[in-house]
Amino acid sequence: MGKKLLLEHINVPGIQSLEVYRKMGGYASVEKAIKTMSPDEIVEEVKKSGLRGRGGAGFPTGMKWSFLAKPVGVPRYLVCNADESEPGTFKDRYLMEKIPHALIEGMITSSFALGANTSYIYIRGEYFYVSRILERAIEEAYAAGWLGKNILGSGYDLDLYVQVGGGAYICGEETALLESLEGKRGNPRIKPPFPAVKGLYDCPTVVNNVETIAAVVPIVNHGGDEYAKIGIGKSTGTKLISAGGNINKPGVYEIELGVSVEEFIFSDEYCGGIPDGRKLKACVPGGSSVPILPADLLLKTSTGESRLMSYESLSEGGFATGSMLGSGGFIVYDERACIVRSTWNYSRFYHHESCGQCSPCREGTSWMEKILHRLEYGHGRSEDIDLLWDIQRKIEGNTICPLGDAAAWPVAAAIRHFRHEFEYHAKFPDKVKDTKHTPPPMPARVAVG
Amino acid sequence: MSNQTVKFSEEAIAECHKIIKRYPAGKHKSSLLPILHIAQAENEGWLSSATMDKVAEIIGITPVEVYEVASFYSMYNLKPVGKCVLEVCRTVPCWLNGAEELVSYLEKKLNIKVGETTKDGMFTIKTVECLGSCGTAPMLQCGANYHENLTNEKTDALLEKLKAENSRKSYTDII
């Protein structure tokens, strides 16, 4: 079993409570940080750790922290992105529900490092019951003196609040999140300026994912260098993977980055293989926005190397033959899955979630959904495939925020790797009129150029 | 403009003012999304323009600022809904585990289509996007509760239980 930095104590009875959490060593990082370290020293440790944003983008956290502007007399904010809405991803919900103090502790230590005296956890509205769990944990922390005025007699004050959203995937984008936190529609802002300079209420702000902030705790406790010893290459530490789809043991797994994808899917230690003796067909390894891969390119790179669960290995080959670690929303498809139906499903998602600001996204996601719908329901034409390719290509890179790219990439990847299924739908509409139609088999692999 | 009397209990108003204190001076508009959840729970699970006007008054912003937010986010209902809104996730990981069959089953059992409400005002079926429950699919959300790993049997039991309880389910319920 790999090292567990976040979920080590998750099964200890009562770990939701401050009393048990403290007994298991909780809040040690707050003591260490506030009593023995300067904010800059903490930022240094996070830099040394190599921790990368665990929400999906994988941006180096220490670098993001170091960008925070520090004008005198202007408040700074730390905002936790608990908007978890990337299809396939449920690891933040698991962490917040089962071990809420892990996030609270991380928020306190991180807020201290960043010089924030008021911090917010922005949580998606659908997780309302989880927001109650977090609020109870925060009350416990205030009562025990970990929050509020003059924490540990240091003179450092911190208030922490939970902010509930209203149902919008786009609010997982950091600037749309800030707009929502300010009480507005979730329309992303043009960057620059970045939140580090002008964020919440125009003040310097850092927005970090739940898991990223929770990871600060072991980094401060053991040091950045120790954290960096785990993992592989530039993928240091552990990552929470939410595994779902057609597997025997769906759930959240904390893995050391670098485990092989094959082991992750088939070993009993993790997903336990595909049920009912079915075959692995495809996988979206990092949340719906990352390219879908057919089984052969999932398990091995195009150069024949074993594919590993890491940022570098999953991206090997770029989008031509690779994908991304992303949010770790690991969706496994068995041989029954129709890729055209899957692509239509995602296209409906992105169309629904588009905020509407940018024409390529607002119009393009609508067109892609319509075209994929008619292909899937037996009214498609062979020209539709090139039309889809053209539309996604014209959305990508032409929008204020990455939702446009996220809508384009699944369509591009599905056509790139499963074009034969789209052609089948266009050529044999009667064969696909039943919504449970069997997809055609994969053709023999042509040499990838 | 509806003739509906807007309901806001004293506790609810007190909760609203507690929320408004979380933000720096002048930034009370930040309370809007949380307060809209309270307003919806107080008023039969939906937001009429009268209710939204009241929210604007409580916070101290203009009505249009409330309308534009309520119309953007998917959890706010701008039309009446049943006591139990059954929000079935239909995104890919749930689809791979039978979400479409679950929707069909609910439509058959309740004799309504997605988007409709039963004649007794008890149930509304909605399909929604990924709820972050992909490891326990298929599933649905009703109020604050997630109902996971649903089979036909479990769905039957859930509907029976909700009918017996005969109460409105809100996101703000303490469960």
| Cβ–Cβ < 8 Å for A255, A2 | yes
Burial B56-77 (b: 16+ CB within 10 A, else e): bebbebeeebbbebbebbbbbb
Is the Cβ pair A87, B174 closer than 8 Å?
no
Clarify whether residues A77 and A53 are in a common domain.
yes
Please judge whether A284 and B134 are an interchain contact, meaning their C-beta atoms are less than 8 angstroms apart: no
* pLDDT value of residue A443: 82
Q: Which of B61, B68, B135 sits opposite A242 (nearest CB)?
A: B135
Residue A355 lies in a domain: yes
Tell whether the model's pLDDT for residue B1 goes beyond 60. no
8 Å CB contact between A94 and B148: no
Lowest mean pLDDT among A19-33, A253-267, A422-436, B122-136: A422-436
Q: Which residues of B touch A276 (CB under 8 A)?
A: none
- Tell me which residue range forms the domain holding A32: 18-229
Q: What is the pTM of this model?
A: 0.97
A113/A186 same-domain check = yes
Reported confidence tier of residue B4, pLDDT bands at 50, 70, 90: low
Contact between A245 and B27 using a beta-carbon 8 Å cutoff: no
- Residue A39 within a domain: yes
Helix (H/G/I), strand (E/B), else coil: A371: helix
Distance CA B63, CA A242 (A): 41
Residue A168 inside a domain? The answer is: yes
**A35 and A152 Cβ atoms separated by less than 8 Å:** yes
**pLDDT surpassing 90 at residue B3:** no
Q: Give pLDDT tens digits for A269-316.
A: 999 999 999 999 999 999 999 999 999 999 999 999 999 999 999 999
Can you tell me the mean pLDDT for B137-151? Answer: 98
Look at residue A425 in the predicted model and tell me its pLDDT: 97
Residue pair B59/B51 in contact by the 8 Å Cβ criterion: no
Res. A448: pLDDT tops 50: no
Among chain B residues, CA nearest to A350 = B129
**Please, is A398 exposed, middle or buried when counting C-beta atoms within 10 Å of its C-beta (0-12, 13-18, 19+)?**
middle
Last residue of a domain, one of A301, A316, A334: A334
The answer to whether residue A42 scores a pLDDT higher than 50 is yes
Which residues does residue A287 pair with via DSSP β-bridges, in sequence order? Answer: A285
For chain B, domain boundaries:
10-70, 84-165
DSSP A316-348: TTHHHH----TT-EEEEEETT--HHHHHHHHHH
Q: Give CA–CA dist A188/A135, Å, rounded.
A: 27
In angstroms, what separates the C-alpha of B160 from chain A's closest C-alpha?
23
Q: Tell me the fold of B10-70.
A: Arc Repressor Mutant, subunit A (1.10.10)
- What is the ipTM score, two decimals? 0.97
Closest partner residue to A352 among B30, B129, B136, by Cβ?
B129
Judgement on whether residues A367 and A316 belong to the same structural domain of the protein: no
Residue A434: its pLDDT value, please? 87
Distance between A167 CA and the closest CA of chain B, angstroms: 5
A194: pLDDT strictly greater than 70: yes
Answer yes or no: are the C-beta atoms of B52 and B34 closer than 8 Å. Answer: no
Q: Which residues of B touch A345 (CB under 8 A)?
A: 90-92, 95
A314 and A361 in a single domain? The answer is no
Check whether residue A200 and residue A287 sit in a common domain: no
Given the DSSP bridges, would you call strands B84-89 and B123-128 parallel, antiparallel or unpaired?
Answer: parallel
Q: Specify the 3-state DSSP secondary structure of A207.
A: strand
Q: A4 in a domain, yes or no?
A: no
Q: What is the CATH number of domain B84-165?
A: 3.40.30.10
A54-87 pLDDT per residue, tens: 999 999 999 999 999 999 999 999 999 999 999 9
Confidence tier at A449 by pLDDT (50, 70, 90): very low
* A45-56 per-position pLDDT tens digit: 999 999 999 999
Nearest CA in chain A to B90: A345
Q: Name residue, tokens 């919900």.
A: A93
Q: Do B129 and A252 touch (CB under 8 A)?
A: no
Cβ-based contacts of A159 with chain B (< 8 Å): 22
Return phi, psi of residue A287, to 5°. 100, 150
Closest Cβ–Cβ partner in A90, A166, A346 for B73? A166
What local confidence, expressed as pLDDT, does residue A276 receive?
Answer: 97
Q: Is A208 helix (H, G, I), strand (E, B) or coil?
A: strand
Average pLDDT over residues A187-204: 98
Element (H or E) spanning A449, and its range? none
Domain end call among A283, A310, A334: A334
The torsion defined by the Cα of A170, A173, A176 and A181, in degrees rounded to 10, comes to 100
- The answer for residues whose C-beta is within 8 angstroms of residue A312's C-beta and 6 or more apart is A232, A233, A234, A235
pLDDT at site A442: 81
Side-chain half-sphere exposure of A363, counting CA atoms within 13 A:
7
CATH number at A216 reads: 3.40.50.11540
Q: What is the pLDDT of residue A441?
A: 85
A250 pLDDT above the threshold of 90: yes
Share of chain A above pLDDT 70, in %: 99
Alpha-carbon distances, residue A87 vs A168, A363, B127 (angstroms): 12, 22, 15
The answer to whether A125 contacts B29, with C-beta atoms less than 8 Å apart, is no
Q: How large is the average pLDDT for residues B56-60?
A: 98
Give the largest CA-CA distance in chain A.
74
Tens digits of residue pLDDT in A106-141: 999 999 999 999 999 999 999 999 999 999 999 999
Testing the interface with A: which of B96, B142, B169, B174 to mutate, by most A Cβ within 10 A?
B96
Test A84 with B37 for CB contact under 8 angstroms. no
Angle (CA) A302-A308-A310 rounded to 5° is 115
Question: Measured on CA atoms in the order A123, A57, A327, A221, is the torsion positive or negative?
Answer: negative
Position A2 confidence tier, pLDDT thresholds 50, 70, 90: confident
Tell me how far apart the alpha carbons of residues A54 and A38 are, in angstroms, rounded to a whole number: 25
Q: Is the pLDDT of residue B2 over 60?
A: no
Sign of CA dihedral A92, B130, B29, A56: positive
> Any alpha helices (H) in A354-402, and if so which ranges?
359-376, 383-395
pLDDT of B118 above 70: yes
Looking at residue A428, which CATH number applies to its domain? 1.20.1440.230
Tokens of B128: 């929604």
- pLDDT tens by residue, B26-44: 999 999 999 999 999 999 9
Chain B CB contacts of A85 below 8 Å: 129-130, 132
In sequence order, the 6+-apart residues with CB closer than 8 A to the CB of B64 are none
Question: Which ranges constitute the DSSP H helices of A248-328?
Answer: 261-266, 295-299, 311-315, 318-321
pLDDT in tens, A314-331: 999 999 999 999 999 999
User: What percent of chain B is modeled with pLDDT above 90?
Assistant: 97
Domain count, chain A: 3
Indicate if A121 and A212 belong to the same structural domain. yes
A215 and A245 co-located in one domain: no
Q: Does some domain include residue A437?
A: no
Measuring CA to CA, which residue among B70, B74, B54 is closest to residue B7? Answer: B54
Minimal CA separation from B2 to chain A, in Å: 23
Q: Residue A315 belongs to a domain with what CATH number?
A: 3.10.20.600
Q: Is residue A6 part of a domain?
A: no
Q: What is the mean pLDDT of residues A376-404?
A: 97
Residue B77 pLDDT exceeds 70: yes
Mean pLDDT for the stretch of residues A382-395: 98
**Last residue of some domain: A200, A229, A258?**
A229
Which residue(s) pair with A242 in the sheet?
A252, A329
